[in-house]
Amino acid sequence: MQTGRIELNGFELSYILRDGQNNTKTPLLLLHGFSGSAKDWLFYLEQLPEDVTAVALDIIGHGESGHPDTPEYYRYDSIASQINLVLNKLGFQKVILLGYSMGGRAALAFANKFPQKTEDLILESTSFGIEDEQEKRERSLADERLVKLLTSEGIEKFFDYWFSLPLFATLKKLPGKQLAKIKNQRLQNSPTGLANILREFSQGKMPYYLSQPDKYQFPVLLITGELDEKYKALNKKYAKVLPHCKNIIVEGAGHNVHLEKPLEFINFTHEFLKSIWEEKWDSTG
């Protein structure tokens, strides 16, 4: 593993690169969720086949990446362009994208702006956006309330609230030391970066990326936990309209499948990747 930094528009993006031997397979790009970092994927990078090159990126405002107080840098189109610049710097012509939650939305933004560079998508607990305009406005207002909580009460109280949300209830099943480590890592983020992401990368400001499902002329793997009722229902909806899609529901897991059931997550995604690399992908099941 090696770390690196790339300067863009006066700030830097940080990444972890796992340079595979021989590089015979399409490289993999890993995108973390809100308040996470590239380090969230170390367990996954370590399990990849030797000939796979992969990069885990600290999305702007997260981890070791910069956190400029420039709102437009945090918007969907800008983040897609930032990802593209990183891939260009690394010499990647095409990638397979794996994104969790917010990172999945970043993957969708990239895939829609740069479809010629997108070979496949793996989306864990990811929304394709909100179709109803009233619901979008309500989501923007809800995220603005989170911004006010973060900026007025501080990052510790913000995460006390964040981890109390029903969406993350199943995380409490993790061992105490592991959960404490996760929370502590989240506290290392910049409040400025997180506030800008919450406001500008809100699902309320997200394009509805499923308005033209036929645009996804490449395999898509959807993953969610059986206990995550909201995203389980969304994935069933998406799987019905995406032309080349496989939907996996992981038993005993909630929203954070890769944290709660890491072995199952690795097995399902590696099976998908192997089928892609060997050109034996099957969307049934």
For strand 2-8 and strand 11-18, is the pairing parallel, antiparallel, or unpaired?
A: antiparallel
Confidence of residue 135 (pLDDT cuts 50, 70, 90): very high
d(CA 222, CA 269): 10
Over the stretch 150-204, which tens digit does the pLDDT of each residue have? 999 999 999 999 999 998 999 988 998 999 999 999 999 999 999 999 999 999 9
Confidence of residue 23 (pLDDT cuts 50, 70, 90): confident
d(CA 170, CA 173): 6
CA gyration radius for the chain? 18
**How high is the pLDDT of residue 284?**
61
Structural domain includes residue 212: yes
89-103, 182-196, 269-283: the lowest-pLDDT one: 269-283
Task: Give the HSE-up count for residue 218: Cα atoms under 13 Å, Cβ half-sphere.
Answer: 19
d(CA 201, CA 76): 6
Structural domain includes residue 283: no
Percent of the chain with pLDDT over 90: 88
Structural domain includes residue 39: yes
Number of domains in the chain: 1
The answer to whether the beta carbons of residues 128 and 238 sit under 8 Å apart is: yes
Structural domain includes residue 28: yes
Structural domain includes residue 183: no
Structural domain includes residue 163: no
Counts of helices then strands in the chain (DSSP H, E): 10, 8
Over the stretch 252-263, which tens digit does the pLDDT of each residue have? 999 999 999 999
Secondary element (H or E) of residue 57: strand 54-57
**How high is the pLDDT of residue 9?**
82
Which residues are registered as beta bridge partners of 250? 225
Structural domain boundaries, residue 90? 2-130+208-277
Structural domain includes residue 27: yes
Structure tokens given for 109: 């933004």
Structural domain includes residue 109: yes
CATH number at residue 17: 3.40.50.1820
Sorted by sequence, the CB contacts under 8 Å of residue 212 that are 6+ apart come out as none
- The phi, psi pair for 83, rounded to 5°, reads -60, -45
Residue 99: CB atoms within 10 Å:
26
- Residue written as tokens 């603005």? 144
**How high is the pLDDT of residue 50?**
87
Secondary element (H or E) of residue 244: none
